[in-house]
Amino acid sequence: MVTFKAEIERFAEMAEKTGWTYVFIPSAIANEIKADCRKSYRVKGMLDQVAVAGIALVPMGEGDFIIALNAPLRKKLKKDKGAVLEIHLEEDLDFKILMPDDLEVCLSDEPQWLESFLKLPKSHQNYYINWLNSAKTEATRTKRLVKIVTAMDRNWDFGTMMRDGKPREA
């Protein structure tokens, strides 16, 4: 487990990351956690006295990473921008998001649908699963299941599926 201190920062203007609160993980420390990795991966450990698991290290280029700190996590930490965290991290090799039964049943109707889904990188499968699991009503969940099945039938990635049916900007 790697131990270090980091200041909580916030992006002012950074495309889709504008307004994100995060801690910066320099490449030297990231290499101690997982050597020579340049893509996102999951970690577990402690941020101050708060246990975390399955939290993503997001690459920022040159081997540097960030950990995004969402509002519920900042509330648990009782800290915000400018505060310093004591961080203890290691790679989370146990992190898995399981496919919901209803999604598996729907994708199993046609073998190519399930095959298309399972060919996706694990992180992309997780986009679909998290989006499906975030539905607040059964009606919304059903609509999302239909969209996912349609996307697999058309070999679409998550972004293409989400853009389908939306008006294009000129």
User: Quick one: pLDDT at residue 14?
Assistant: 63
pTM: 0.62
14, 109, 157, 159 from 113: Cα distances, Å: 36, 8, 13, 17
CATH number of 2-91: 2.40.30.100
67 vs 22: CA distance, rounded Å: 5
Query: Over pLDDT 90: what percentage of the chain?
Result: 56
Give yes or no for residue 33 having a pLDDT over 90: yes
Q: What is the pLDDT of residue 16?
A: 65
Q: Cα dihedral sign for 134, 137, 140, 141?
A: positive
The residue assigned the tokens 């203890």 is 88
Mean of pLDDT values over 153-160: 90
Domain with CATH 2.40.30.100 in the chain: 2-91
Which burial class, exposed, middle or buried, applies to 25 when counting CB atoms under 10 A from its CB (0-12, 13-18, 19+)?
Answer: buried
Q: Is residue 15 scored above 70 in pLDDT?
A: no
Per DSSP, the three-state class of 114 is helix
Q: For residue range 161-170, what is the model confidence (pLDDT) as tens digits?
A: 988 877 766 5
Q: What is the mean pLDDT of the chain?
A: 89
pLDDT of 135: 92
Question: Is the separation of the CB atoms in 8 and 69 below 8 Å?
Answer: yes
Q: Would the pLDDT of 19 be above 90?
A: no
pLDDT score at 72? 87
Q: Mind listing the pLDDT tens digit for each residue in 100-123?
A: 999 999 999 888 999 899 888 877
The residue written with tokens 């999302």 in the block is 144
